[in-house]
Each structure stands twice: as C-alpha cells, then as structure tokens.
A and B are shown apart, each in its own frame.
Chain A
Amino acid sequence: MELLMATTIGVLTAAGLYLVLRLRTFPVIIGLSLLTYAVNLFLFATGRLIVDAPPILRKGVETYTDPLPQALVLTAIVISFGMTAVVVMLALGAYLSSRSDDVSLPPEDESREGEA
C-alpha cells in the first residue's frame, strides 16, 4: 500500500505541476488544487499508514494512528479552500477587468500568433 500512496502523491504532484505551468488562469487553479491534494496527502502520510485504527479513543484498544498530522491536514484542507477561493476571485477579477485570462503579461514585442 505504501507504494500506491507514494505513486498517488507523485502523480498528483506531476499533474499539478504540469497544469500550474500552463498559460491560462483556469488550468493553473486546477493545478493548484491537485498540488493541494498532493501536499495534504503527503502531510497525512507522514503519520505513516495504518488501517482500522482511527484516533478515536476506545476502551481496550491500544493501537491508534498518529492524530497529529490529521489535525494539521484538517485545517490545511479548510485553509486551502480559502486559498482556492481567493485565487479564483483573483483570476475572475483579472479576466473581467482585462478580458484576458493569461497568467503572465503578454511579451511586449512578441505576438502569440506564431505559436501553435
């Protein structure tokens, strides 16, 4: 299972990075969301993977998974929602104000037409 988790995080990171490097705001936002998943899963995984041992105290149960990364990730998920919302608004505001959803300012002396 460890390998599955590691590859999941890796693939999410790779996909996130690729989309973040796109030139329009929307893919960048999607890419950031994927990176958020990757980071949250990674932080969560630092508590190591344990099955069927939620950190809810029960009489007679001795094995629990690590609660600390979970608490951190829980707030991280909520905060990253806030972040996504702000970025979305920035993108939307930029598009509505400038009619362009380019991530970067267009180069002054180069035109886009030459590119595929």
Chain B
Amino acid sequence: MESAAGFLPIIAALPFLGALLPGLMIQAGRNTCTAFTAASTILALTLLMLCVPSVMRGEVLTFGIDWLPSLGLNVNFMLDGLGLLFAGMILGIGLLIILYARFYLSREDPMGQFFTYLLLFQGAMVGIVLSDNILLLLVFWELTSLSSFLLIGYWKHLPEGRQGARMALVVTGLGGLAMIAGMLILGNIAGSYDLSVILTQKDAIQASPMYLPALILILLGCFTKSAQFPFHFWLPHAMAAPTPVSAYLHSATMVKAGLFLMARMWPVLAGTPEWFWIVASTGLITMVIGAKIALFKDDLKALLAFSTVSHLGLITMLLGLGTKAAAVVAMFHIINHATFKAALFMTAGIVDHEAHTRDIKRLGGLRHLMPITFTIATVAALSMAGIPPLNGFLSKEMMLEEVAHTYWIGPAWMMGAVATLGALFSVAYSFRYIAHVFLGRRRHDYPALPHDPGFGMWAAPAFLTVLVILIGFMPMTFAGDLVKISAQAVTQADPYVKIYHWHGLVPAFWMSVIAVAGGAVLLALHAPLMRMWNATPRPEAKTMFDAMTRTVTRASTALTDGVHDGSLTRNAVVFSVVVPVLGWFAWQAGGMTPPTREPLPVALVPAVGWVLLLVATALLVVYHRARFTALVLLGIVGLMVSLSFVYFSAPDLALTQISVEVVTIILLLLALNFLPRETPAESHPARRLRDGAVAVMGGVAVTGLTYAILVRDFAFESISAFHLANSYKGGGGTNVVNVILVDFRGYDTFGEIIVLGIAALIIFALTDTVLRGEGGRWLADWDPDTNPKGQAGDRHPLMMVVATRVMMPIALMVGAYIFLRGHNEPGGGFIAGLIVAIAFLMQYMASGYGWAEARQRVTYHATIGLGVLIAALTGVGAWLAGRPFLTSDYGYLHFPPIEEFEWATAMAFDLGVFLTVVGAVMLALQSLSSMARRTGETVNVLPMDVDPAREETGESGGGG
C-alpha cells in the first residue's frame, strides 16, 4: 500500500479543483451542478478510504514536495488516525451537506457560487487536517477564514449576513494572526516546521522559556476558531448564513478546526499546569455559559449555535485535562457531536424552510404535520441531551467520569459540579428543542403550513440519525476503531478504548441523573425563567464588537487622515521627516566601525566644479519662481553631475547623463510654453521656514550617510568582482557596465525598456485625453500674444536649419559608432538611442514639426514595439540553443578589409534597447508638440521661414 501516500496531495487538491466546476456546470442545471460538486467530494472520499487500511495498521502516511525549503515551507502531507477522523468527517458530512443544499437553496440563490465557496472551504479544511508542515497548515487555516467569510455572507442582500461574516472574519482572522506568531515560535524551538519533527520534541518545547508565549498565541488561534469564551460571540451571528453552511461549519468543520489543532499539538503542548489551567478552565466556562444562553434563545439556529459553543467547550475541556483517557473521550465526542449536531441543524433548516420561521415562540405541535422531521430531530436532540442509549449519552457519561476525578479549584467536587450544571442546561435546551417545536398543540398561525419535505432534503439528516443510533447501540463496532486510532495519534501512545453503557453506580451515573432531572425541571419552569432572563441586563457582544470596530476604525482614519489628507505636500513633509528620524535611530542603535578608506585628495578642477554646482543649486532655490531661469540653472546642475561622472571613472554614466539632460531640458521648455512663466509667491514665511528646516534636515542626513559610506569599505564582499572577472570570458565585452546591462542583468534591462515604453505610451494617451477634453478646447482658443514675454520673431531661422541639417548625418553616425562600440568601449544602446533621438529632435526644432513629420516614415509606437520585440526575440533565441531566457553568445568575424569584428547576441538585445529609447523619447516629445499644433500654430510647409533661394514674398510660413 505504498501508493496510498501518493493520494494525499490529490485528496487535498480535489476540492479546489472541484471548486472550478460548479460555476460552469450551473449552466447545465441545478442537478448537474450538484452532481459535479458531489463527484469531486466522492472522489476525494474514495481516495481517503483507500488509505484507511494503512492507517488502521498504525502507519502514518506522508507525502512531501519541497516548496521553499530555505524557509522550511514544504508541501508535506501526513495522514494518521486524527487526520483520518477529521478528513473523513469533513468529506463525509460535506457530501451530505451538498445533497441537503441542493434541495434547501431556492431558485433565486446562485447555486454555482454556493458550491464553489463550499468546495473552497472544504479544500481548506482538508488541507488543515492533512498538513504535516505547520506553515502550510497556517496557509490553509487562513483560507478557511476567508472561504467561511464568503459562505457566511452568502446571502449578500441580508445585512445580518454581511455583518456576521465580517465579525467571523475579524475574530478568526485575528486569532489566526496570533497563531502564526505562536507557530513560528514553536517551529523555532523545535528547529523544524514539520509536525512529524515537532511532535517528537515535547521535552525541548516544554522546557523552553518561550513555551508559554507560544502556547498562549496558538491557543488564541484555536479558541477564536472554536468559539471559546470570551470569543464565542461570533458564532451565533454567523447563523445568518444559509442553514447548510451553518450545519457544515458548526458541526463538523470550521469550529472543529480549533479542536483539531489542540488535539494535533496535544503531544507536545499538553500535560503542563499552564495547559490544564488555560484550556480546561476555558472549556469548562464555555460549556456552562454556552449551554445557559442556549436555553434562552428563541431562534432555533441560535439555540443550536450556543449549544455548539457549549459542546465545543466540553471537548476543549476534555483536551485540557491532559490525560489519555480524557483525550479518548474527546475524540469520541467529536464524532458524536458531528453526527447529532449536523442532523439537528438540518432539521432546523427544514422547519425554517417549511414553516417560514424558526422562532420557537411561533412554533409547536409540528409532530402532527411533519412526523419524519419530528422523528429525526427527536432522536438527535435526545442524543444531544445525553439520553441512553444514544451516542451522546456514551460520551457525556465518559466525560463526567473523567471530570469527577479531576481537581480544579475549591473543593474536590468543584469541577464535577460545574460540569454537571453544564450538562443540566444541555438537557434542558435539548428537551426544549423537542417540546417547544414539535410537541404541544397544533397551532393555526404558522406563517406557512408546514409539511415534511421531499426525500432529498431529509435523507441527509436521517442518515446521520441512523449513525447516532448505531453508534449508540454498538459503539465499539461503529466507532471503536476510529476512536482508537485517532486517540492513538493524539496521545502518541496506545490508549485503552472500551465504550459501554453501564458503568455501575459510579459518580458519573448520579451526575447524569441529576442533569436529566434538573433539565426537565428547568424546562418546566422555562416560562418564568425566560421572563427573569429578559429582565436582567447583560452585555451584548455585538454592540461591544461594533463599538470596538468603530473606535479602531475612527482611530485609524484619524491617523491616516492626519498623515495623508490627499495633499502631496503634507505627505512629502511627513516622509521627509520620518525617514531621517528613523535613520537617526538606526544610526544610534547600530555600531559604527572606524573609517577604513583614505579620502582622495581634493583636486582643483573638481573643486571648482563643486563650487559651481553648489552655487547653481543655491541660485535655483532662490530664483525658482522665474521658471525659465530655473531651467537654465537646472541645466548647469545636470552638466556638473555628468562631469562628476567623468571624473570618477564612469564614462558611460557621463554620456547618458548629458544626453538625458538635453532631452529633459527640451521637454521642460516645451511644457513651459503652456505653463505660467512665473511661480507666484504664495507660501507664508513661516511655511517657508518649516520647509527649509525639513529640507536642511534631509540634506544633512543624506550628507552624513553618504560620507559614512564613502570612507568605509564594503562590509561584505560585493559581487562586482565576479562581473569584472567574467565580463570578457563570459560576455565577450570589455565594457563591463554594458555587459552587465545587456548580459548579466539583461532581464532587468528588458524590464526597464518595457517600463520606458509604457511611460511613453502613457504620455501619448494622456495628451490625447487632455486634447479631447476641456484642455484641448482651451488650447484651441490660445492666444500666443497674451504671453508677456512675447515670441521669438523667427521661428525657423536659416542658420539653425542649415546647421542642423548638416549635423544630422554626423549625429546619426556618432550614434551608430557609439552603439557599435558599446560592448567594448563606453557607449551602447541607451546612449546611442538618446543621441539619435537628439539628432531627430534638432530637425523638429529647427525646421518645424510639420516638415519633419512629413519625412518620418516609421511611427514611434512601432519603434517602441519593435525594440521590445527584438529584445524579447533575442532572449527567446537562447531557448533554441537550449539555454535559459536571455543567455547570450558571442564570437568573432573577420572581413578582410575591415579589422576583426566581434558579434554577440547581446548586440541584438542592445538594438532593442536602442530602438525603444529612440521611440520613447520621440513619442514623448511628439505628444508635447501636438499640443502646440492645437493652439492653431500654422504648420509650415517650407522648412525655413526665410529662404534666400526663394523669392522674397514677405509672407512667412509660420504664424505668430
């Protein structure tokens, strides 16, 4: 049976794969949709059954795939007795729920959506119980929170549904976050995130000082999920969901996930006083409080919800006791609770479906009208009450037996007494479910006249009820083995499992008798008790939760509004202040090594450049309002920056910087044509002072940081040596910067040219939008004469036209030269692209847009696209040679008249870069120019306004 382990990932994946089907299959009708949904569950269940023989032999099936081994996150699945019990329950009851939901949902409900959510949830649950890796388990854990949110809020039109879903998500989600922290601590202690390893580390974990924090955090996750006090309040509100969801989530799955995890972690976490006090006490309190509230709920589903809370408390308490015998009882009760509670929820749904109400006050006497439902509900409710010989009786009796021998607080009988009280309430509300809904006189004011539903709807609860009876009569035959292997997995030992009805006149017997008798008395006194209950004020969880959410929301809104109110300036101030402050803390906290680099001596020329740059910058700040002057000063600063690149051994950067500088200034000049020429002085002096202070602080911080870096060597060996060593050997080029761009980091460059292309397209689209809208109309009415500075007289001066036209071929040749030598000498596609773009730009500027455009053969969109395409194809070409994307190759060609010529596939890639850069720059400037044309500037047909070769007519081509 070695192959059985291979089924595990398939079992986990099947519900997720199946989730894709219902949405499609709903087109083929509701029955087909249900059939496909059920098929994936049946398939998963079948595979699970194939694993049963191995697990029954005591084997633990494991299956692992490495996912992120460096993080300890692997897709490891494991199936032992505990996993089998839960997976069986999830899939088995899931199947019944699918059948039930088919008949429960009305025609208006989108059934495809429902089944998709249901299968997603089912997959997440199966994932939890099959995970061997706790990180993987956490992923599935969060998935259950998310998918249950979708299920609980399925009736989107109901506000209660939405609120209930949100509350469930918030509570279980927060618990999940706490649990992530706890699990990480646990994994850290154990040295592995695999359960199979963690479970063997009991001593190390319990001895660790981090045991208690880990325990508390993990338990927070479990308690919120399993609705333990004081987190129990979300569960009743989740009842706004359709009944199949409630039946599924709250009998067999979601809320049992917390129990599962406690059981899973039982071998390493249980057995300490901390565990006992926290888990057993919480369980006990939850059990009593849940049962008490359930008694006073008039809504059938609320009654069942609180009874679920109570029973979950019971199981939690059993796990908390920390003894092997108690763990056995816990496993047994998990099975029993799943059977009778799912059946009860479904009967509640049937009553609601048929009578159109689930308010107990409006029901009663239904046994005459719905005998089948009555039978099912009665058997299940009696089991819940713990009436012999049903299965609920067996586990309750065993629970009382365990509790009777446990010392909690106060007198020795304290725990037994409290547990009996819980059981007493449990009997009372179970009896009430039967008595006040089905017994009594038939009424005449039901919202709808109820009758038994069709077979499809009662088949599922009936099946469960049969299980209730079978397990009740023959517990060892029907549940014994399952309890035994699951308890084996929980306790990691071979526990003694013997379930029988008659224990003799032991304390548990008397406690049971008291509970049943007391429950009956309580029910008899229900009416006066109910009045008392209604008269006593009590905390309303929803109000408190809402108030808390409101407060938190208000606080975070205040914070975000304070930091970012939509004003760019405020955001920038906050950022500019916070970053240096944080940097200061880091500076203080971290140690500084003494400087290791000898500063370079200050040379004269760079010092002059430094002064120039500083003066230009200072002037720029002072005169920034005169926008044209500011541009000129900006140009000086840019020039100085490129000169500093020259000085500090970066020829490629210098070339790039200076070409970009030219293009940027032209762009800004063109833009300034349409913007106001002056910036009004509108900030208050105090504000200027504040901004100045912020700026100086940022500047000082950056200076300090830079200087600290510059006088020290790398803390760690950098990877640059590799590039220097392999540039020629591997990339076939001596210009290391270029080889890095087109070869080592070719993928980065590929991304970057795409970004550049997209930026250009954005500009194009933006211009187009502006011109189509208000802006375009305004431009059409633009009167250039309003400009205070006036216009240059000669738009296309002769000298410039002639000069640029002569320069054009030279500039293009320089571009080609720069491009070709790029692999070995400073240059390359980026720089060549910019140079060629500048060559074109000069034509546009000198001879006018219309003249230049008439001679343009290729659109710039196409140039960008072609560039990216060529680069991509070069990369793909490597695949043909069986190498990864963008692997380059090179070689040498020798044509006799020319000297040896190197070729490299990187060259083609660089061509792509070149074309993209040309296209992007030109498209940006073309877009701007198109604005100028909109102002009604006449497009000159002739290249020159004044042409000596032409007869002087006094008319110029340009307007203005």
Contact = CB atoms under 8 A, between A and B. Distances in A.
A75 B747 CA distance: 12
Contacts of A3: 599, 707
Contact of A75 (B696, B748, B770): B748
Interface in B660-714: 660, 663-664, 667-668, 671-672, 674-676, 679-685, 691-692, 694-696, 698-704, 706-707, 709-711, 713
Contact of A30 (B634, B641, B704, B776): B634
Nearest to B728: A57
Interface stretch (B54-62, B508-516, B761-769): B761-769
B606 interface: yes
Contacts of B745: 71
B924 interface: yes
Contacts of A50: 648-649
Contacts of B711: 2
B606 A91 contact: no
Contacts of A47: 720
A50 B776 CA distance: 52
Interface string A7-40: 1111111111111111111111110011001101
A115 B651 CA distance: 48
A65 B921 CA distance: 30
B603 A1 contact: yes
Contacts of A66: 718, 720
A5 B671 CA distance: 32
Interface string B750-773: 001001100110110011011001
B662 to A, nearest CB: 10
A75 B749 contact: yes
B634 A1 contact: no
B734 A58 contact: yes
B653 A44 contact: yes
Nearest to B748: A75
A55 B709 contact: no
A75 to B, nearest CB: 5
B818 interface: no
Interface in A71-116: 71, 73-75, 77-86, 88-93, 95-99, 101, 103-105, 112, 115-116
Contact of A81 (B663, B710, B773): B663
Interface stretch (B194-202, B388-396, B527-535, B614-622): B614-622
B699 A89 contact: no
B825 interface: yes
A27 B682 CA distance: 13
Contact of A11 (B568, B617, B668, B752): B617
A37 B676 contact: no
A48 B598 CA distance: 11
Interface string B611-637: 001100110110011010011001001
Given A8-B610, A103-B568, A13 B602 contact: no
Given A74-B653, A116-B684, A41 B641 contact: yes
Interface in B215-254: none
Contacts of B736: 55-57, 64, 67
Contacts of B825: 56
B760 A82 contact: yes
A60 B44 CA distance: 69
B868 to A, nearest CB: 14
Contact of A70 (B597, B653, B824): B653
Interface in B635-650: 637-638, 641, 644-645, 647-650
A63 B699 CA distance: 32
Nearest to A73: B653
A55 B621 contact: no
A1 B602 contact: yes
A103 B569 contact: yes
Given A50-B648, A84-B664, A96 B600 contact: no
Contacts of B776: 96
Given A57-B724, A57-B727, A89-B767, A37 B637 contact: yes
Nearest to B756: A82
Interface residues of B, number: 122
B719 interface: yes
B91 interface: no
Nearest to B752: A75
Contacts of A81: 660, 663-664, 921
Contact of A51 (B600, B607, B699): B600
B921 to A, nearest CB: 8
A78 B917 contact: yes
Given A6-B703, A49-B710, A71-B745, A29 B668 contact: yes
Contact of A17 (B699, B718, B734): B699
Contacts of B148: none
Given A3-B599, A77-B656, A57 B734 contact: yes
Contacts of A28: 568
A104 B695 contact: no
A28 B736 CA distance: 36
Nearest to A113: B682
B702 A13 contact: yes
Contacts of A4: 602, 606-607, 610
Nearest to A67: B736
A55 B634 CA distance: 29
B641 to A, nearest CB: 5
Interface in B287-340: none
Given A71-B740, A116-B681, A42 B664 contact: no
A76 B928 CA distance: 23
Contacts of A10: 699-704, 706
A55 B752 contact: no
B931 interface: yes
Nearest to A14: B699
Most chain B Cβ neighbours within 10 Å, of A37, A81, A83: A81
A111 B909 CA distance: 56
B630 A30 contact: yes
B706 A45 contact: yes
A92 B770 contact: yes
A50 B674 CA distance: 44
Contacts of B663: 81
16 contacts: A5-B706, A10-B704, A13-B699, A15-B618, A17-B694, A34-B634, A34-B637, A48-B713, A51-B647, A52-B649, A57-B727, A79-B756, A81-B663, A96-B770, A96-B776, A105-B567
Interface of B: 566-569, 572-573, 576, 597, 599-603, 606-607, 610, 613-614, 617-618, 620-621, 624-625, 627, 630-631, 634, 637-638, 641, 644-645, 647-653, 656-657, 660, 663-664, 667-668, 671-672, 674-676, 679-685, 691-692, 694-696, 698-704, 706-707, 709-711, 713, 718-720, 723-724, 727-728, 734-737, 740-741, 745, 748-749, 752, 755-756, 759-760, 762-763, 766-767, 769-770, 773-776, 778-779, 824-826, 830, 834, 917, 920-921, 924, 927-928, 931
Given A71-B741, A77-B660, 6 more contacts: A14-B696, A17-B694, A42-B702, A56-B824, A86-B763, A88-B667
Interface of A: 1-30, 33-34, 37-38, 40-42, 44-58, 64-68, 70-71, 73-75, 77-86, 88-93, 95-99, 101, 103-105, 112, 115-116
A-B pairs, top 9 by smallest CB distance, nearest first, are: A14-B699, A10-B703, A96-B775, A82-B759, A6-B707, A18-B695, A71-B740, A57-B734, A67-B736
